[in-house]
Structure 1
Amino acid sequence: MLDRRGVIHTDREGINEYKAEFARDTDMRTLDDAIDAADVFIGLSGPGLLSADQVKKMAPDPVIFACTNPDPEIHPDVAREARPDVIMATGRSDFPNQVNNVLGFPFIFRGALDVRATRINEEMKLAAVHALKDLAREPVPQEVLNAYERTEMSFGREYIIPTPVDIRLLARVSSAVAQAAVDSGVARKPFPAHYPLESINDVYGS
């Protein structure tokens, strides 16, 4: 893990308790050091941080999540030119693979609320992740294709995660989270009888 000062390592002074949890015993000090042969880059920092030359140093089929908005850590076109084998995602809707918290938080809270969960635990978060993963491998509904003016979308480099306009998220993620809450013992109510939710009308019972 890196911050604005570089790699968070055990010999670095002035690390707060939150960063100390991620400190590693390593000789790496810079992003250029850390990116060499790396499988994954997840950027949540600022625009233009990652260069084409650094992308070229990554392992085969590198995964890059450049999530800064509106300008990502590296533009997808630059990343793909440097590495045609890249699996690229950003936080923007005008590029493939939009990583957006709207894929998770409304439905995680919906599932948690409907079973009156006492907390949102790791089991519930993982259930949401697996629901997204499974949904990405299923055929994409026509209404989603229409929204993105596409004739075809299927699991692959250009589609690794469902889109925010996919109505199936409501049913799949909410149900998975609610069931995980029940199974892990944090639910105060049983799995809802009115699940799966198919539309916003189901949420409000109208």
Structure 2
Amino acid sequence: MADQLDEVLKLHARHNGVLGIESEMAVNNRSDLGKAYTPGVAAISKLLAKDPSLRDRYTLSGKLVAVVSDGSAVLGLGNIGPAGSLPVIEGKSLLYKDLAGVNALPLSVAQVSTDEFVATVKNIAGSFAGIHLEDIAAPRCFEIEARLSQELDIPVYHDDQEGTAVVVMAGLLNAARVVGKDFHNLRVLINGAGASGIATARLLAAAGIKQITLVDINGVITPDDQRANAYQRQLAAQLGSHVNGSTLSQAIIGQDVFIGLSDANVLSAEAVQTMADQPIIFGLANPIPEIDPDVAQKAGAAVIATGSSQYPNQVNNILVFPGLYKGLLSSGLKKVSLELETNVANALANMVQEPKSEHIVPGVFDEGVVKTVAEAVVDFAKANA
């Protein structure tokens, strides 16, 4: 482990990170210089001064995504601040480029008020074709995304919300097929009601699952639970009540599905044994899942997924965001809606033609993942033009 850490540190130090900037044209002589810079750009500058919308055609802004974080909720690490977030968002920007050919720029923002954060992103948004929000703590991440989506004319996407929700739904569609249960009639318990838990519940409800229960560290969330935030209470009211009892161990009795977006080792083998026949376990906490997959299997779990590459069925956002933005940029679509997310989730699920207990989602490096997601976005845009 120490040797691996040392190798990682040396790699990142040698290159000052994992990203660089490459030019789209060579500047080898005075003629090239005059076209790429002065005096040639003066004509373009005057053109954009008259019509700023043309910047997407004549500058990098038409193909550049900002990956923005304040480091307040980094998966597995917690609140590590803006500087701590940089390696994460730099890595995501690298994946955008290498997997999908999408240009992305990591931007860390100080941990300021919601109003200041929104204002900061709005003030720089003219340089970008889309905004990818990353690792921003709930509940303010909901307001930040909602306001930016409403006030900007470019796509705004929060990977911890939409990315997680899409890949969870894709996996659950196929898990239901494996155990021979109707997707819409699944009884689902979501443990963890932060950004990813709320977004996943919203998407599964929009996709037609009728019985969803939200649980957090305090137990089952109810509409009048003053320990919960307004977004959690509102969603609890929308979902309705489907369980007796208030604790995780009580609420999980008879459930078909456990989706963990919470913390390590919070689910016991005994709890799995109280679930419905052929239970589905998504223990997605990283780096340690809510229950060890071997323990879950011995307790009777029929399908098990984690967020880790160490086990089969890695349910990870990387299956979504590169292709999603590739599709958004090529289609001109401006909003990431629940309907679009559903379309992408179905496309991802359909990549696995014969799902099995250890193969319910495509692999991270499977050929065609980015293309499938991008085409799902483009098809959705055409159908809703």
Q: Does 1:48 align with 2:48?
A: no
Equivalent position of 1:17 in the other structure: 230
1:2 equivalent among 188, 204, 215:
215
Structure 2 counterpart of 1:10, one-letter code: P
Equivalent position of 1:123 in the other structure: 339
2:351 equivalent among 124, 135, 144:
135
1:124 Cα deviation (Å)? 1.7
Conservation of the 8 A alpha-carbon contact between 1:66 and 1:91: yes
Conservation of the 8 A alpha-carbon contact between 1:124 and 1:178: no
2:305 equivalent among 89, 101, 108:
89
Structure 2 counterpart of 1:106, one-letter code: P
Shift in alpha-carbon separation, 1:94–1:15, aligned structure 2, 3 A: closer
- Which whole-Å CA distance do the structure 2 matches of 1:8 and 1:163 have between them? 34
Structure 2 counterpart of 1:107, one-letter code: G
Conservation of the 8 A alpha-carbon contact between 2:225 and 2:233: no
1:59 equivalent among 259, 273, 276:
276
1:37 equivalent among 218, 242, 254:
254
Structure 1 counterpart of 2:220, one-letter code: V
| Count of paired positions | 168
The CA deviation string for residues 125-171 of structure 1, in whole angstroms up to 9 with x for no partner, is 1111111111011xxxxxxxxxxxxxxxx620010110000121122
- Which whole-Å CA distance do the structure 1 matches of 2:317 and 2:355 have between them? 20
The CA deviation string for residues 166-185 of structure 1, in whole angstroms up to 9 with x for no partner, is 12112211101111022123
Q: Does 1:111 align with 2:324?
A: no
- Over aligned residues, Cα RMSD in angstroms? 1.4
Equivalent position of 1:178 in the other structure: 378
Q: Secondary structure at the match of 2:304?
A: strand
- Which whole-Å CA distance do the structure 2 matches of 1:130 and 1:184 have between them? 17
The unaligned stretches of length 5 or more in structure 2 are: 1-213
- Which whole-Å CA distance do the structure 2 matches of 1:68 and 1:166 have between them? 23
- Which whole-Å CA distance do the structure 1 matches of 2:227 and 2:313 have between them? 37
Structure 1 counterpart of 2:373, one-letter code: V
1:156 equivalent among 349, 353, 356:
356
TM-score, normalised by the number of residues in structure 2? 0.42
2:314 equivalent among 85, 92, 98:
98
The unaligned stretches of length 5 or more in structure 1 are: 138-153, 186-206
Equivalent position of 1:165 in the other structure: 365
Instruction: Return the index of the structure with the highest Cα Rg.
Output: 2
Q: Does 1:28 align with 2:241?
A: no
More helix by proportion, 1 or 2?
A: 2
- Which whole-Å CA distance do the structure 2 matches of 1:169 and 1:69 have between them? 23
Percentage of identical aligned residues: 38
